[in-house]
Structure 1
Amino acid sequence: MKALVINCTLKPSPAPSNTQALADVVIAELGQRGVEVETVRAVDLNLLPGVETDMGPGDDWPAVHAKLLESEILVIATPTWVGHPSSVAQRVIERMDAMIAETDDEGRPVAYNRVAGVVNTGNEDGAHHVISEICGALIDIGFTIPGQAWTYWHLGPGAGPDYLDDQRGHDWSDKTGRAMAANLVSVAAALAAEPIGTPPE
Structure 2
Amino acid sequence: MTRVALIDDHESVRLGLEAACTRSGGMTVVFSGETVSAYLDWRAFANAAPADVVVLDLTLGDGATVTENVTRLVADGSPVIIHSVADRPGAVREALVSGAAGVVSKASRTGEVVDAIATVARGDSLDNVEWASAIDGDRDFADAQLSARERDVLRLYAAGLPLKAVADRLGIAYSTAKENITRVRVKYVGVGRSASTKIDLLRRAMEDGLVAEGGRSVR
TM band (smaller chain):
0.3 to 0.5
TM-score scaled by length of structure 2: 0.40
TM-score scaled by length of structure 1: 0.43
Bigger strand fraction: 1
Bigger helix fraction: 2
